[in-house]
Structure formats: C-alpha cells, structure tokens
Structure 1
Amino acid sequence: MKHWFALPLFLTVFLMTMVPGFAAEIPSLEERVAAGELPPMADRLPEMPLTVDFEARGAELGQYGGTLRMLMSRSKDTRQMTVYGYARLVSYQPGDYEFFADILEEFIVEDERVFTFILRRNHRWSDGHPFTAEDFRYFWEDVANNPDLSPAGPPSVMMVDGEAPLFQMIDERTVRYSWSKPNPDFLPALAKASPLYIYRPAHYLKPMHAAYAKPDEMAKRVEDAKQRNWAAMHNKMDNLYRMDNPDLPVLQPWRVTGNANSTRFRFERNPYFHRVDPKGRQLPYIDEVIFDIASPGLIPAKAGAGDTDLQARYLSFDDYTFLKEAEDRFPFRTRLWRTAKGAHMALFPNLNAVDSAWRELFRDVRFRRALSLAVNRYEINQVIYYGLAYEGNNTVLPASPLYRKDYQTRWATFDLKQANALLDEIGLKRGEDGLRLLPDGRPMELIVETAGESTEQTDVLSLIHDSWLEAGIKIFTRPSQRNVFRNRIFSGETLMSVWAGAENGLATALNSPQDFVPYSQQQLQWPKWGQFIETGGMSGEATDMGPAKRLEELYVIWRDASTRSVKKGAWEEILQINADQVFTIGLVSGVLQPVVVSNALQNVPKEAVYNWDPGAHFGVYLPDTFWFDETSATNASAD
C-alpha cells in the first residue's frame, strides 16, 4: 500500500512567490538585508515554505523581537535547543501525534518498506547554502558507512534483520530508502525528540573528511583542532543534536552563537528557517534564546524569582506550591501539564548486574513481584502528589486504546503479606536484625542509584524504604551525575536505579513497542541485552531469559505485520508479559508537570501534554510561534 504525506489538514501551503511583498522584513535583520549580507525574506525562504495553521493550534499572530530566557544546569543542555526547536524531516502534530511533512515538502511511504522523501525547493541551511539530496548521500555513503566515522556501521534503526536500506538519490530534491521488510520504526526515529539525522551539511563537513580533503590540509586541520585524527575531528564538529558548534549549519529555528561561555549560551534566529505564519511572515518570532546555567537545586528558586520566561526542565510537582505563591511577586503563571510516560517514576532492577547473587535474584520473577507488592503506591501518591497521579505499573495509560486495567494493577497492589510469602518461598531467611540474607550470607542491603537531579526521587525512595524494610530489605540511596549514573548501569555496577518509565504511555497499535522489549542500551532494566540488539550483536550480551526473548520475538512480529490487528495482538502480549513479569517496578504515572510561563509570552498552550517522546516537551507546540507581548506582562489574567 502506498501513502502520500504532504501537509496535513491543520497546515496549509502559502507560496511566497505568488504574493510579492506581502510579508514585511524581520526588524532585527533589516540592516543586514540592506547591507547585502542577507537576501530579503522572500529569497531566504523555500519556494514552498511550511505555513502553520494558527487557528487549528489556538494560536494568535505575533510580533517580532525579544529574548527568551531559560535555565539549564550544564553545558550539554545546549541540545535542548534542538529538542525545543523541533524542526524534523517529519514531525508529530499535537493531540493525535500523526506525522506531517515538516522540513520535507512531501514523503511517500509504501508498505512501510519504501520511503521517498522530497525536499523543499530553495530550502537552505542556516549559512545560506542549499539543502539538497547531496546532504543525504553524504551521510549515508561518507558517514554511516565509513568505518572510521561509524565503527558500528549504520544506525541500528536503519538495519532490518541485518539488512541496510537501498539508498537512491533520485534527483537533487528526492531521495529514497528501500528495505525488503517493513521498517515501521524509521519515521518515528526521524520525528523523535532526539532524532535520527540521515543528512549532514556536506559543504561544511567535506573539508574535514579524508575522502575529500588534501592530506597536507587535513593534517593541519587536525593539528589546529587538537584531535588525534581526522575522524575524531569530524565527529567532534558534526553533531546536529548537541547544538554546540557555532560553525555547524543547522535547519532549526535558532542556532548557537560563538559568544557562549560556561554560564550562558546564546542562540540567534536562523534567517533561512522554513516555516512561516498565516500571513507569510517568517518564523521564529523571537529573535534569540538564552540558556543561563545554574545548579539544578537552584533552578526552582530562580524560576520563582522571575529569572526565566519559560521553564519546566528541573521543576517537579513538589515545586508547584512555592511557584504559585511567587506569582504574586513576579509576572509569570504556573501551568500544570499532564505527563504521558508509562511511569513518571519506576524502579529498574538491573538484570545484567555483575553481582551474581543480586543478578540471580532479580531474574527470579517471584522476587520482582515481591518488591512490587511491597511498595505502598497509595501512600506515595497521597504524600508526594496530593492524590493526583495514577498508581500502578509502568505501562500504557488509560488514554491509550491499548490500556487494560490489569496491565496497570497486576502485582501492583500493596500486599506485604503476599510479598513476604514470596520471599519466604524463594528461601530468603531473616537474620537477627530482621533483614533477609542473600544466598551468600550477605544482608539484603540494596543500593538504589539516582541521577541526583531532584529531591522528588529521594522523597519517594524514603517511603519505599519503610515498606521494604518490613519485607526484610533495606535500601540506601546513591545520587550521582547523570553520565556517571548511566555508565554504571551500562557496565552492570548498578544493582537498581530509579528513572522514568516508558516514554509513550499513549501508544496505539501502530506505535513501536520498543519501550517494552529489549531494544536499546538506554533501557535500564536490561542494558546489555539492549546493547546487543542495538549493535547487531557486536556489543553487549544476548538475551538469555525466556520471557524477555519472547518479547524480542513479539517485536519482530509487530514490525513485520501488515495489518493493524496483528500489530495489536503483538502489543497485547507484550503488555501482558511486562505486567506479569514486572521487569520494571512502576510507581505512579500521569504526574502533573509545573510549567512556568512569563505573562508576556504568548501562544504557549494553557493545557497540554508534557512528554519527551513523542512531544519533545515544548517542541510539538512549535516555540518558533511563541512571541512576546509586553502589554500582557502586567495585565495578564490568571490561567
């Protein structure tokens, strides 16, 4: 079956060339245009730009100018500009999360096997260089399939049972990827918050590639860049997601500038951005975005002091009362958006832990069930979330068509008697102090590791500590930096961690079930199994537990299915296995996320879903359409 995807119903196309002079120039760019440094707006835009339907989004036409201030905690958070900017080849629309052609002018999908992408004529990178099919060819032939730049080969999502796609460059605006089997993960990977980039600015990177640069010139470049070889230099300069190289051309609404430092990062408008408002005026409305770096623990206080115009990152529900009280002193409002993860917070027993005693226990389903039964989710919900969250497993939410209450509640009711009975059945005896003993005689003192970014996790763990102690298990909390946290899990040093659950709790049968099957190293319950799948067996460990292997089989059944009913059947068995096997211990979901919004900032939804993928947090709501109305700063009514 063949499907064409151009602009969906909620978007319209406005041909700038058909309405000459209709759109005024952006004030902040007028001098550069007058000086000949930039072409006028009509020449900077693609021949067929993407016109956002403001009416469908409940948005209002805005005005140009202003600086959007946000707070981040580290320099690596520059990548959040790519997340929030959310310009993708194909993007999700809010609400139903259907795909639409964004950077692309059109895309054609045949049986989820053949994907044809058509680019916008005269679309340009942020430096004004044409964006063409050559940028796709360069990535595929010179990056993804170059062993120096990509030792593991092409991205795993582009390999179907070990088969790479047939790449065809049809003309300068058209490329095609073909597989013999379906690849339903391809489009979602392109639309993710952290997307799969299948293109590169070839004109910028070729001088850093051994296949194009002269050896003597390359040697000097490597020396000047202080890198060990050309591949290390190329990889350092080539990271569209991180947004940390001011010289790297981008397609996002804003690009990082070179005057950043360790405490402040500045992003300026991309003068060649491809979206326009209903009057044909180029977006974004806002001239620049600034990320001020602060300690994570100070960000709620700084947000409450009016030091940010738009903030949700590093805020949690326990900050809400303080933020609401601060509204009387500073011109902002605090909105509450419902989150959509399968679990706002979950515990992840590491089935690949290097400690053999704990690893064998974690692989015993009775132990995982006992741990889940010993969690008082009702208490957590009432004490931490004022009873506003959903209690239960890490699974799809009630708003998902795949939802069944049993998936949410199985082995998730508070039952210490049954939990202790399961632990007794395993043969875990208690010592004189009441703690149970591991098979090797050690007391069951379990360290639960966190990324140390919020007191919310430690508050929840303190409640779990009390109920698990009654089951004879004592837990300790160990915070660390996020990179250290993840690397310890990947290596198997971490026994148990706490993190958010499945990204998409609103999944349908057509969405990938990859969150619930071994798929990626990033899955904290089985990182080595996921790594094995992700690298095609080059790294990690092969799955060696029956139920988890069945999940892998079901994923393949889902992937290769040609009908919705077969996909739904695979999904249902996947969710049943996860509920019964308790591979992760979900705690609560649907938690409300505080979002601080300046009274002057317009077009930010009052009610919305705050989710990483799909959603890109603010990205799906198109921050390039946000704008400042200073008259609203002091006259805003309560949301």
Structure 2
Amino acid sequence: MITRRTTLGMLASMLVPGTSRAAPEPAFLRPYLRAQTLPVLSERIPKNPRRVNLAAMGREPGKYGGTARMLIGSQKDIRYMTINGYARLVGYDENLQFQPDILESFDVQEGRIFTFRIRDGHRWSNGSYLTAEDFRYTWEDVILNKDLRKGGVQRELLADGKPPVFEVLDELTVRYTWSAPNPDFLPGLAAASPIILLLPSAYMRHFHKKYQDEFRLSALMKQYRAKKWADLHIKMSRQYRPENPDLPTLDPWMNRTAPPAEQFVFERNPFFHRVDENGLQLPYIDRFLLNISSSEIIPAKTGAGESDLQSTGVDFSDYAFFKDSEKRYPVKVKLFKRTEGSRIALLPNLNCSDKVWRNLFWDVRVRRALSLAIDRHEINMVSFYGLGKESADTILPDSPLFKPEYASAWASHDPDQANALLDEVGLTQKNSAGIRLLPDGREAQIVIETAGESTLETDVLELIKDHWMKIGFSLFIKTSQRDVFRSRAMGGDIIMSMWNGLENGVPTADMNPSRLAPSADDQLQWPVWGMHYLSLGQNGHAPELPEAIKLVELLKEWKRTVDSAQRARIWHEMLEIYTQNVFSIGIVNATLQPVLHSSHLHNVPETGLYGFDPTCYLGVYMPDTFWYSSEVS
C-alpha cells in the first residue's frame, strides 16, 4: 500500500533542481513504482548524479519513451550496447578529453597515483550499492587470483612490469599507486573494451570459491555447465558482451535475454546515474530490440525500414540506397567521418618466412616504390566517390598532432619514381611480360591476403593490380577466415595483407602511440616483433630493423613521461619515422560512415567521428540522450 508519506517522498524525489516543478518518472517504470518493487527517483540515483546539460551541448532536452530496433550479425554483437552505451569510470567527451562518469571525481598525481571518488548513493541495476568493496573484490579476488587470471595482471595495469598498490581509503574512495607513471590507465578505462576494475561483488561472490561453499558452488557449475569454478565465474561476470541477464550493470540499458536467442531485449536501467538539466533520469529511450540477421542482408533490411538506429553492419557503399529509403520510410541517414589512419591499408609482412621477400621488404625503397605506384585518386573516385582523403596511413586533421607531411609521405602517384627506386634496389631483370625478377629468379608476384569480410578490399586490390603492373609487379588476391588469416601472418606464411590502417587516427598526445611501434601480435606488418613486446620478451623475437627498434624505444620513453609536451614530441618523432618508412601503405582515410536513424529520433548528431577507438562508435555522442518524438527531427 502506498502511504501519504510515500507519495510525498515520490513527489519530492522528482523535483527539478532549482524549481518546484516535479520531474516525471518514466512511464515504463510506473508499474514497478506502484508495486513498490522500485524505490523513488531520489533513492535510485546518486546524491550527486552526473548532470548532462544538453542545451549547452547544442541539443534538445528530451522526454521518456520508445523502443529502438537495431540489427546485429551475431549473438556476440550485443557488445554494441556496451560500446554505444559508453558508461565508464572515466570516459572521453566529444572533444576526446577525459571526464569522470561513473566516478564522481578522479585525481592523478605524478602520473602514477590515481585516487577515485565514488558517487554517494550510486547503485547497480539490481539496487545494490556501489562501494569501495566492489573495487576491492575485483582487484584482490579477481585480478590477483591466479585461477581467474592465468596470464597474470594485464599490461595496462603494469608500469615497469609491476602492478599497483591498491588501497581502500574509505567506503567511497579507492586509490591505485604505481612505482612509475602509468599513462595507459585512464585511456584503458575510457576504451571501447575497457579495463575491468569493477564487478558487483555482492552478486559475484556466489560464484567464487572463496565465498561460496563447495556443495553450492558445485551445483552452480552443473547448472551453468562449467567444468571449473573459474570458468563459471568468468562466464557469469562477462560485462563487455553482457550475456548474463542476472549480472548487475551500470550501463544505461541492461540485457533481459539469455542466449541463445534471435532477438535480445535491453531495457532501461532504473538506477542509471545520469540526469538531464530538467532532472529527467537518462536514458530517454526505454528499450532496445537487437534482432540477429545475416550480416550480408543487414544493409538491405536497414534500407527497408527494419532498424531505428544503425551504424554497424553497414558501409559507405550502402549510402545511396539509404538515401533512397528516406523517400519511402520515416528514416534519415547521416554521414560521420571514420577515424582509421587509412580505411584500408597494405601491410608488407616484415616477418614473413620467405627470406627473399623479407629482405626486399626490409629495404625502405621497395616499400616506398609500392606506395608511389598506387593511384590513390582513382581509388578514391571509384570506391569512395571522391569523398575520402588520399593519404598515407597516418592521423587525421582532426587530431591536434596532425601535420600535412605525414599524410603526403610517399603517397603521391609517381610510377616513374617507383620504377627508379626498384631499379636502384637491383630489380632490373624482367620476363617477357614485363614482370620483374626477384634475386632468386622468381617472378615478382605478391599474394595479398585478406579476411574476405568486405567487397571493398577486393575491389580496391583489383585497381592496385593494374597500378603495380606498371612497375613490374603482379598481384594475386587470396581470402581466408579472420582467425586463419592472422595465424598465417604470425607464422610468416603471408607476404602481404590488407587490413584497416591505424585504428586511432584522432589521437591526443596523452593517448598511447603503441600502434606506431611493434607492440602487438595483431599488427600484420610485424606480428613476431609485436609478440615479443607483448609477451615481455617471452615469445617472438626483438625487431632487427633500426627504425623499428627506435620506435620501440620511443614508445617506452612515452610510457615514462608525464609531461604532455614531451609526449607530443615523442608522438611526432614516431609519426615521422612511421610514415617516412612506409611500414604500412595507406590509401584513403577520412572516409564516410552512414548512420541511419528513425526520423522521429532526436539528438543524433548531424556529423561526428566514427570508430571503435576512441569514439566507441556512437558512444561519445551519448545515445542515452537520444529521444523519440511524434515530430521528425
């Protein structure tokens, strides 16, 4: 029974700050409020919620309601809700500057001491309070647990190879202290797939051998088909791909559907920590319906009006079709700028097992010649309607670090200079068809492998095939599955591959420049060198090229530096080395990404930056502030 006192409390809880006007509760939640299975608004949000002033951002304050449909290619793509929802301890704003989000505040001293303040009264989606205990549990009982983290503490949580000292200062304050600067920490928290520092401890204890009795844990393992308790804990705690509907979350929408399913339902989190300037709790949209469809027909279904918000699974080649759909359905299509350093790039494998090709690729003149031979203008006109920017694989003008010379480095179309460079290398012998002969007498035939996930790749390669014939190189295309493709690159079986260019083409000096140096095994131009760095010298082997060695040294220097000016200097030195040495052959960047949405959906930006890192697709533009109206936007 709702008493007069409860009713007054509900009204008081919904007062708009600075006024006597009440902010209404979402109609979606009223049945729960009437049944008293949910507390009133003032008890659901933190005492100091994150206040989003939409008018100051040039957007409209909205209203509650509506269901948005979205198409996904497989069950794993429910992760898009986590990426686009973009609730992070610390996140980027639209200008890619750090700001507290889930946290009330954060303080950084000497680049190594990070103090986090939790919002008083912040709750998980199941109503349990978020406290320092959740951080402690995640650090001590999960991250440091050898059964759960067999590989040890992840790289982003190490500085000079050492983890931090973790402290609980009080119920709402925690601190991480490293012995050396850790510049990867905040970017790691703000990432599309963020560092996990925070799990709902009250819920997760049920699946941890330290807190659950052996008999009950065994029963849970049987119920959820896990062979080991660690497998059970990992399965139940997965946040990035939220397949467990019972797992409490801090995201704007929470999954209500257990896999397998053809449709996943995400509903508003009644305890979400953001409000607008009118006191309305975000998100505005009540539900998302994610419908699984074959990846090949997502564009067709999108253009047929079966999606209310779609940016994934579609590409610029679908834009004309979507514009035509505006005439038949209440939809709008907008164009965002993709953030890769190159929409697609050629990556000569400097670690390939073919010694002749490896020696050639180690000669910068060969890499430069292959780049100069490409007619980027033709590719831009044919594949991107002239709307892209012909460029080396480098950062975009939207980055404060951009310099025109990075974009133009060996990226002009100059087959005469390319031929001269190849002659200078000694590749002067040709067969009757005009194909150059390698030092061992073989024809200069380059097999370029792709993951076969886009017709764009093969279309562009067909054009490059003609360009390279003019310098005496023949090109063959081979496709394989992504996992096989990467494994073959690591094994040295791939001579050259085609993939995206630099993932983050809009960096600031405080973002990690690791993609410019051999630092990961998924860098297809030097996977073995990258594995050596990634494994702290345990696997692969160190780079032998002086320029690659220098890039690793600069990366390590960047990690030790806390001064932004020094970090910028290091970025520029690395960009100069990377582009002048053509370690990846960029073609076109600043290409456009269609974002289709219902005409009745407001606050979707007219344009923006679009990429996995650092914008989290639509994440930095806060889809929790998108809202429905009977009027078109």
Measured in 1, the distance between the counterparts of 2:209 and 2:343 equals: 46
**Partner secondary structure for residue 616 of structure 1:** coil
What residue identity is the alignment partner of 2:419? N
User: Mapping of 1:168-567 within 5 angstroms?
Assistant: 168-258=167-257, 261-428=260-427, 429-567=429-567
What residue identity is the alignment partner of 2:52? V
Map of 2:37 onto structure 1: 37
Deviation at 1:259, TM superposition (A): 5.1
Q: Is the 8 A contact 1:15 1:47 kept in 2?
A: no
Q: Structure 1 residues 556, 207: closer, same or farther in 2, change over 3 A? A: same
Map of 1:8 onto structure 2: none
Map of 1:155 onto structure 2: 154
Q: Structure 1 residues 352, 267: closer, same or farther in 2, change over 3 A? A: farther
Q: Is the 8 A contact 1:16 1:42 kept in 2?
A: no
User: Mapping of 1:117-156 within 5 angstroms?
Assistant: 117-156=116-155
Map of 2:596 onto structure 1: 596
**Bigger shift: 193-202 or 219-228?**
219-228
Q: Is the 8 A contact 1:394 1:587 kept in 2?
A: yes
**Partner secondary structure for residue 22 of structure 1:** coil
Map of 1:10 onto structure 2: none
Measured in 2, the distance between the counterparts of 1:437 and 1:40 equals: 77
Measured in 2, the distance between the counterparts of 1:395 and 1:538 equals: 30
Map of 1:627 onto structure 2: 627
**Bigger shift: 171-180 or 447-456?**
447-456
Measured in 2, the distance between the counterparts of 1:487 and 1:32 equals: 51
**Partner secondary structure for residue 108 of structure 1:** strand
What residue identity is the alignment partner of 1:456? L
**Partner secondary structure for residue 128 of structure 2:** coil
Q: Is the 8 A contact 2:554 2:570 kept in 1?
A: yes
Map of 1:75 onto structure 2: 75
Q: Is the 8 A contact 2:17 2:278 kept in 1?
A: no
What residue identity is the alignment partner of 1:584? S
Measured in 2, the distance between the counterparts of 1:333 and 1:221 equals: 47
Q: Is the 8 A contact 1:15 1:48 kept in 2?
A: no
**Bigger shift: 517-526 or 323-332?**
517-526
Deviation at 1:221, TM superposition (A): 2.5
Could you list the per-position Cα deviations for residues 565-615 of structure 1 after superposition, in whole angstroms to 9, with x for gaps in the alignment? 322221121011001111111111111211112101111011222232221
**Partner secondary structure for residue 265 of structure 1:** strand
Measured in 1, the distance between the counterparts of 2:169 and 2:622 equals: 31
Q: Structure 1 residues 170, 538: closer, same or farther in 2, change over 3 A? A: farther
Measured in 2, the distance between the counterparts of 1:259 and 1:228 equals: 20
Q: Is the 8 A contact 1:297 1:454 kept in 2?
A: no
Map of 2:9 onto structure 1: none
Deviation at 1:451, TM superposition (A): 3.2
Deviation at 1:18, TM superposition (A): 8.9
Measured in 2, the distance between the counterparts of 1:113 and 1:616 equals: 26
Measured in 2, the distance between the counterparts of 1:548 and 1:369 equals: 16
Measured in 2, the distance between the counterparts of 1:144 and 1:210 equals: 15
Map of 2:166 onto structure 1: 167
**Partner secondary structure for residue 166 of structure 2:** strand
**Partner secondary structure for residue 631 of structure 2:** helix
Q: Is the 8 A contact 2:147 2:230 kept in 1?
A: yes
Measured in 2, the distance between the counterparts of 1:363 and 1:293 equals: 45
Q: Is the 8 A contact 1:347 1:586 kept in 2?
A: yes
Deviation at 1:128, TM superposition (A): 1.5
Could you list the per-position Cα deviations for residues 73-116 of structure 1 after superposition, in whole angstroms to 9, with x for gaps in the alignment? 1211111110000000011110x211111000010011211110
Q: Structure 1 residues 132, 478: closer, same or farther in 2, change over 3 A? A: farther
Q: Structure 1 residues 72, 170: closer, same or farther in 2, change over 3 A? A: same
Whether 1:87 aligns to 2:79 is no
Deviation at 1:241, TM superposition (A): 0.6
**Partner secondary structure for residue 630 of structure 1:** coil
Q: Is the 8 A contact 2:17 2:279 kept in 1?
A: no
Map of 1:7 onto structure 2: none
What residue identity is the alignment partner of 1:177? Y
Instruction: Point out where structure 2 has 5 or more consecutive residues left out of the alignment.
Output: 1-13
Map of 1:5 onto structure 2: none
Whether 1:577 aligns to 2:577 is yes
**Partner secondary structure for residue 531 of structure 2:** helix
Map of 2:108 onto structure 1: 109
**Partner secondary structure for residue 337 of structure 1:** strand
Deviation at 1:545, TM superposition (A): 2.4
What residue identity is the alignment partner of 2:630? E
Q: Structure 1 residues 159, 103: closer, same or farther in 2, change over 3 A? A: same
Map of 1:60 onto structure 2: 60
Map of 2:608 onto structure 1: 608
**Partner secondary structure for residue 147 of structure 1:** coil
Measured in 2, the distance between the counterparts of 1:18 and 1:323 equals: 44
**Partner secondary structure for residue 382 of structure 2:** helix
Instruction: Point out where structure 1 has 5 or more consecutive residues left out of the alignment.
Output: 1-13
**Partner secondary structure for residue 322 of structure 1:** helix
Q: Is the 8 A contact 2:316 2:594 kept in 1?
A: yes
Deviation at 1:394, TM superposition (A): 1.0
Deviation at 1:544, TM superposition (A): 2.9
Measured in 1, the distance between the counterparts of 2:290 and 2:189 equals: 26
What residue identity is the alignment partner of 1:342? G
**Bigger shift: 416-425 or 47-56?**
416-425
What residue identity is the alignment partner of 1:573? E
**Bigger shift: 110-119 or 609-618?**
609-618
Q: Structure 1 residues 539, 291: closer, same or farther in 2, change over 3 A? A: farther
Q: Structure 1 residues 66, 562: closer, same or farther in 2, change over 3 A? A: closer
**Partner secondary structure for residue 571 of structure 2:** helix
Q: Is the 8 A contact 1:317 1:594 kept in 2?
A: yes
% of aligned pairs identical?
46
Q: Is the 8 A contact 1:312 1:596 kept in 2?
A: yes
**Partner secondary structure for residue 161 of structure 2:** coil
Measured in 1, the distance between the counterparts of 2:345 and 2:432 equals: 31
Map of 2:568 onto structure 1: 568
Q: Structure 1 residues 328, 351: closer, same or farther in 2, change over 3 A? A: same
What residue identity is the alignment partner of 2:149? S
**Partner secondary structure for residue 249 of structure 2:** coil
